Structure 1
Amino acid sequence: MDTLLITRRPHASPTPPHARAALLEDPGFGKVFTDHMVTVRWTEGVGWHDAQVRAREPFQLDPAAAVLHYAQEIFEGLKAYRTRGNDVVLFRPDANAQRFLDSADRMAMPRLPPELFVSAIEALVRTDADWIPTSEGASLYLRPFMIATEAFLGVRPAAEYTFCVIACPVGAYFKGGAKPVTVWVSDAYTRAAPGGTGAAKCGGNYAASLVAQAEAIKNGCDQVVFLDAAEHRYVEELGGMNVFFVFDDGTLVTPPLGGTILPGVTRDSILTLAKDAGLKVEERPYTFEEWQADAASGRLKEAFACGTAAVLAAIGEIRHAGGAFKIGGGSEGPMTTRLRDQLTGIQRCTAADPYGWVHKIDMDG
């Protein structure tokens, strides 16, 4: 497609600097939002059009909008960072753009060109650059998403969609430094089944996980771990994060992709870093029984979860209906620390980036 011009309609009454500064002192996660958003419309027979940076405001949706009835919706999550040199950078936005395409294909939604995906994010970051926090570990979280907006109650792909990008400043995920999490292994619920939407980043996957997450919290845990739907034996992923296991011989193991696991950008980055460091890396099925046995024998030294929000989070304790066990005494292991430091160093431009993962935004563009 030809490059779509994104027009700019600035907010008539943006947040005053003093009020913004107060909000940035402790933004939390997903509670404080910037002044603007980007919207792009898609209409059958026309394609993508009407791209705008505009004031963030509520959508006007018809009660029969397809997203409200048939859940045609996908999203992504990534961050913008301000470096020590005062540049503003993104981390692997091309990977998020590709996953957005793959999710759209699975959900029978229009394909958003990757260049438009990245351009929309850049346009919003330029406009709301003053909202990028500068405190240690903070960033500007970006949420691109697409919803079906056609007013129609028939069961078929919609003929109208809206792509949108919103942003919120977020503080460090772990206040006071990273700490191991406690997880609950669900034996009552599954996240995804073969042939389902597990590899798509769609809202329905997360809605289906909430009851299991509530079960985890009830049992004093931070996150839920899902097993496979077919045999209910194999570890797949956490409610919103991929999972890795580190063994005494230095081998790194993670469950394989195959349609039921979300192909995380952080997951892929860790695999690359580990392989280039000369570690033995295996993407293979791993049962919950093996997890318990390897932890008991001491063969399993570390386990960690990974995702955009937390980057890497050590798993210290695992609870389940039959009891509980710890890994490495419940403390974070050296491999987890090393990989997180290496990855965040690249993301924030305090370490070399031999992969070309860092995407610098031209703030004058």
Structure 2
Amino acid sequence: MSTEHFSVQPSIQPLADNLRDDILANPGFGRHFTDHMAHIRWTSSADWHGHEVRPYGPLQLDPSAAVLHYGQEIFEGIKAYRHADGSIWTFRPEKNAERFRRSARRLALPELSDDNFLNSVKTLVSQDAHWVPTPDSEADESSLYLRPFMIASEAFLGVRPAQEVDYYVIACPVAAYFKGGVKPVSIWLSSHYKRAAPGGTGFAKCGGNYAASLLAQQEASDNNCDQVAFLDAAENTWVEELGGMNLFFVFKDGRIVTPRLTDTILEGVTRDSMLQLARDEGLTPEERAISINEWRDGIASGEITEVFACGTAAVVTPIGQLVSENGTIEHPEGNAVATKLRKRLLDIQYGRAKDTHGWMTQLV
């Protein structure tokens, strides 16, 4: 990947080494950001231009910028991993670039090419490589989380697609998404709220989908649950996804089922990878509709032996219980499949296992 068309303006006030080291020792998630950010501008008259990496800092937007009024924006989530030899890699970035284009089409935003997407990530990581954590053990899941996003920045209050758009990439060092290490999480089943409806934006990675999930997530928190699960909007019967992760159900006969993709479900990169890794492990993946009754009955009968969620931020997370207004369903102890698939994925991402599928792309 060439970076020659990105100009780089180094920060004259980078964070002091000792302060950065303190952050890298305990980064949390999404709290501290690197010294630089990538930027490209688009206008209807000049297409994509102004490719740059510049110091991280506030954005200047007109109060009438379309994104502030009509929510015309999209984003992605991707990680950079430092391997034992010091090199830095990312995981299946072409899939993120593809989904970013798909989201752009749905939100009536201009499509960014793979080259622009990948080069923006590569140039930023190259400039801020010292921000990529060095894991001190296999249990250390620290990495650099990258957030590419696109916003409608045109100063105009008319309801139409914006004619001026800005694309950025920011980055932050992160530790494991859930505090306290990997442990089964509690899921609240949302009875009153829906994440997405047919014909809507559910398959796009846009802020509106997440905003629509926050009240349900608050309801989950009020019921001492970590995450919320959504059912379909039409029949209130079919399991779709969590607020930010895809779901998998492991059956005792070796099947591993995930809800089939529709225009109400986000096509996760980790989800797609789980399907392949499951095949590698001799399991039988199925993409099909699964109802909330099948979930409940499967746990009760022992047909479903594990349930787990997956996504870029949280990787693979076992589910320990399903909580709803009708009571709590405890899931079986032991998460052998989830644990095995999680380790397989992380070993590839951190360079501890051979990448037989060609998923890794070197950045530095």
Question: What TM-score bracket applies, with the shorter chain setting the length?
Answer: over 0.9
Would you say the 8 A contact 1:180–1:332 is kept in 2? no
Cα distance change, pair 271–211 in 1 and its aligned pair in 2 (3 A) = same
Distance 1:61 1:4 in 2: 28
Q: How does 1:276-355 map to 2 (within 5 A)?
A: 276-328=280-332, 331-355=333-357
Would you say the 8 A contact 2:3–2:119 is kept in 1? no
Match of 2:67 in 1: 67
Match of 1:105 in 2: 105
Match of 2:226 in 1: 222
Match of 1:251 in 2: 255
Name the stretch that deviates more: 166-175 or 334-343.
Answer: 166-175
- Equivalent position amino acid for 1:350 in 2: R
Distance 1:72 1:172 in 2: 30
Distance 2:329 2:74 in 1: 36
1:306 aligned counterpart, secondary structure:
strand
- Equivalent position amino acid for 1:145 in 2: F
- Equivalent position amino acid for 2:301 in 1: S
Residues 82-115 of structure 1: per-residue CA shift (max 9 Å, x gap): 0011110000000000000000000000010011
Match of 1:152 in 2: 156
Distance 2:232 2:64 in 1: 35
Distance 1:332 1:108 in 2: 45
- Equivalent position amino acid for 1:321 in 2: E
Q: CA deviation at 1:175?
A: 4.4
Match of 2:128 in 1: 128
- Equivalent position amino acid for 2:16 in 1: P
Matched, 1:263 2:264: no
Match of 1:23 in 2: 23
Q: CA deviation at 1:165?
A: 0.2
- Equivalent position amino acid for 1:184 in 2: W
Give the superposed CA RMSD: 1.2
Q: CA deviation at 1:172?
A: 2.4
Q: CA deviation at 1:176?
A: 4.4
TM-score by length of 2: 0.97
Distance 2:298 2:220 in 1: 23
Q: Which runs of 5 or more structure 2 residues have no equivalent in the other structure?
A: none
Match of 2:172 among 168, 171, 181: 168
1:45 aligned counterpart, secondary structure:
coil
Would you say the 8 A contact 1:4–1:49 is kept in 2? no
Match of 2:79 in 1: 79
Residues 309-352 of structure 1: per-residue CA shift (max 9 Å, x gap): 11100001110010011111xx3410000100001111111011
- Equivalent position amino acid for 2:118 in 1: V
Distance 1:215 1:337 in 2: 29
Distance 1:301 1:9 in 2: 53
Distance 1:23 1:84 in 2: 20
Q: CA deviation at 1:188?
A: 0.2
Distance 2:201 2:77 in 1: 18
Residue-pair matches, total: 359
Q: Which runs of 5 or more structure 1 residues have no equivalent in the other structure?
A: none
Match of 1:187 in 2: 191
Residues 256-303 of structure 1: per-residue CA shift (max 9 Å, x gap): 001100000000000111123332111111111111111111111000
1:130 aligned counterpart, secondary structure:
helix
- Equivalent position amino acid for 2:43 in 1: T
